[in-house]
Amino acid sequence: MSNDHSFTEEQKQFLSGFAFGSDVARAVSGLPIISNSVSKSTSISVGRNTADATEKLPVPERIAWEAQQRVLDEGKQLCKEEEAKRQKNPLDMWDEMQLRSDAGEFPKGTDVFLQKFHGLFYVAPAQDSYMCRMRIPGGSLRAWQMRGLADLSERSAGGFIDVTTRANLQYREIPADQAMNILYGLRELDIVSLGSGGDNIRNCTASPLSGLDPCELIETIPLAKRMHHYILNHREMYGLPRKFNIAFDGGGSVSALDDTNDIGFHAVQITKETSSETIAPGIYFQLTLGGITGHKDFARPTGIILTPDECIAVAGAIVRVFVKNGDRTDRKKARLKYVLDEWGFERFIQAVESELGTNLRRGEIDPTDLPHNENRLAHIGVHPQKQPGLHYVGVVLPVGRITADQARGLSDLAEIYGNGELRLTVWQNLLIPNVREADIENVKTALVEMGLHHDASNVRAGLVACTGRGGCKFAASETKTHAMILAEALEARFDLDQPINIHLTGCHHSCAQHYIGDIGLLGCKVERDEDMVDGYHVHLGGGWGDRQGIARLIFSSIAFDEVPNLVAEVIQFYLDNRSEQEAFVTF
Ligand code: SF4
């Protein structure tokens, strides 16, 4: 765990050779690293004659390299993360990470950033350990994988697993010398972490009830998996200027929050009445772009309508246009939204079409074509599936964390009473699908025995919290702990007939998407008695989908010990003044 170890002279030589592309590194790694002459020429000839260097790059790497070069040719400076990627291809760090892990060391300097490309986040000073984020496309995994993850968490991490707001899983408290054991262990479980952090396309999400939901228009988990494998097998997908999110929503009862993604594919049903000359009746996806709620923007419709089998190629082309044209000088402006803001949708779509070599289908979506099936409580509790006699059980995971024992217990339930599958949701919880009616009570009892539950109050069902100070250096507050305290306080006072989403996020990065919560809490420090204490800026009125809206800042810098009372007063005001069972966000 300590950071005091240092490399041996031999290791140092190796690492410095690797960093600058020595023959040693190439010989040992055997990987398709950026050629030596390229790396050397980088430091010498940046902004000058790099034609020779560029030619030696494989085509996928060349796309990002040329985008960086254009910035330099314009006399501008790359941001430090772009410089780091230009000096060392993050995908070629395997041997270096192995040596570091063997030496029990954590990375230093820009290597902290570069290792995130492998899913390894050194989270100091919050903790002197790694966090490892996986990729679980569509949130779907098998019970044997979850059981293996439980064992691995005990061997090499903190003995627990976190479910994230991208229907994904994370380990925490990984000592330096266990980093590679974690990566080996994941690969042995058929789970990859490559590209789960850094400037990459993050876990591809889908509607968690894909294939089960009586009201969905189309299954989306197969599309999320296809996108996942496309990314893994196209190296230019790792050359982005910044992170990137893709979601597929099949129009069913549990949202994939596609409107908060850089690319959202939202299922629509075009009927005979609303079809046109160019669009025949059928199920399509509406393409939306530019969602980034931390920057107060939802993905907006582009006017492009796609058949399901067109989505992956179009997403690939969108990413390539972004790789070529995203901002590489300013991290704050490096997301897709800013390319769209500068270019406008039409120019961007034309660039995508030219990348694809074909025109895309344009058309207006009639509002009646959009599904309105969302049920804000459908991710919790027992619900019938489209398959007669089968149900899924939505399990409440308090702020998304489960112990290794609970993970094994859930795996057992999925195998004994379901079909061996588990599904994660963006609401930081998990579903056990395909449970027969006769087995429902057994599942409920077993959940309670393992300290979990199938039922949640209307406060806890929509409670989302980012990692917070317990494991993130950016956090201004202890979000997960505060979320539990807040939920208890509100449950003691209210029995709500409507769900109210409360999202707690520790900093402006907005991992828990405070801007789309009915009540969104953004961590901050508040001065009290000449001391600084944990507090929150309180935002109200956010929403997504049919009730889309960016929450507005209403109360600034409230110390956390005052937050439960303040939120209770807000809820009481809502209850006293709403009409009928009006939802919080429309109030
Ligand atoms: Fe860390 Fe900020 Fe993300 Fe919370 S929102 S996990 S504090 S980066």
Is 194 touching ligand 1 by the criterion CB < 6 Å? no
pLDDT (tens digit per residue) in 308-320: 999 999 999 999 9
Tokens of residue 239, six digits: 């050359």
> From edge to edge, which strands make up the β-sheet containing 552-559?
463-465, 502-505, 519-528, 531-540, 552-559
For the CA of 473, the closest atom of ligand 1 is 1
* Band of pLDDT at residue 59, cut at 50, 70 and 90: confident
CA distance 367 to 158: 48
pLDDT at 417 over 50: yes
C-alpha span between 287 and 403 (Å, rounded) = 38
- Compute the C-alpha angle 120/156/92, nearest 5°: 30
165 CB within 6 A, ligand 1: no
What would the pLDDT profile of 231-273 be if each residue is shown by its tens digit? 999 999 999 999 999 999 999 999 999 999 999 999 999 998 8
DSSP code of 377?
T
pLDDT at 348 over 90: yes
Ligand 1 and 475: CB distance under 6 A: yes
Q: Tokens standing for 184? A: 């080996």
DSSP label at residue 328: S
Distances (CA, A) of 356 to 114, 316, 320, 408: 30, 9, 10, 45
One DSSP character per residue, 52-116 reads: HHHHHS-HHHHHHHHHHHHHHHTT----HHHHHHHHS-GGG-HHHHHHHHHTT----TTHHHHGG
Share above pLDDT 70 across residues of the chain, in percent, rounded to a whole number: 90
Q: Of the residues 509, 510, 515, 534, which should be mutated to test ligand 1's pocket, given the most ligand atoms within 8 Å of the CB?
A: 509
Amino acid letter, residue 540:
L
- pLDDT of 227 over the 80 cut: yes
Residue 119 beta carbon below 6 angstroms from any ligand 1 atom: no
User: SS in 3 state form for 419-458?
Assistant: CCEEEECCCCCEEEEEEEHHHHHHHHHHHHHCCCECCCCC
Q: What is the mean pLDDT of residues 332-358?
A: 97
Q: Is the ipTM of this complex over 0.90?
A: yes
71 CA distance to ligand 1 middle (Å): 30
- Structure tokens, 557: 């810098």
Q: State pLDDT tens for residues 433-488.
A: 999 999 999 999 999 999 999 988 888 888 999 999 888 889 999 999 999 999 99
Cβ of 474 below 6 Å from ligand 1: yes
Candidate from 507, 513, 516, 534 with most ligand 1 atoms within 8 A of CB, to mutate: 507
For residue 476, report the distance from its CA to the centre of ligand 1, in Å: 9
**pLDDT at res. 23:** 36
Return the amino acid letter for 410. L
- DSSP string of 176-218? GGGHHHHHHHHHHTT-B-TTSSSSSB---EE-TTTTT-TT-SS
What is the gyration radius of the CA atoms in the chain, in angstroms? 24
Residue 9: the pLDDT is 63
- Answer positive or negative: Cα dihedral of 19, 24, 27, 29: negative
Q: Is 253 helix (H, G, I), strand (E, B) or coil?
A: coil
**Quick check: CB of 511 below 6 Å from ligand 1?**
yes
Q: Mutual orientation of helices 345-356 and 336-343 as an angle, nearest 10°? A: 110
Q: What is the mean pLDDT of the chain?
A: 90
Q: Does residue 17 have a pLDDT over 80? A: no
- pLDDT surpasses 50 at 557: yes
Q: Is residue 37 over pLDDT 70?
A: no
Let me know: does 428 contact 380? Beta carbons within 8 Å: no
Model pLDDT, residue 408: 98
Q: Which of 52-56, 395-399, 489-493 has the lowest mean pLDDT?
A: 52-56
Q: Nearest CA to 336 among 350, 351, 325?
A: 325
pTM of the model: 0.88
Q: Which atom of ligand 1 is nearest to the CA of 510?
A: 5
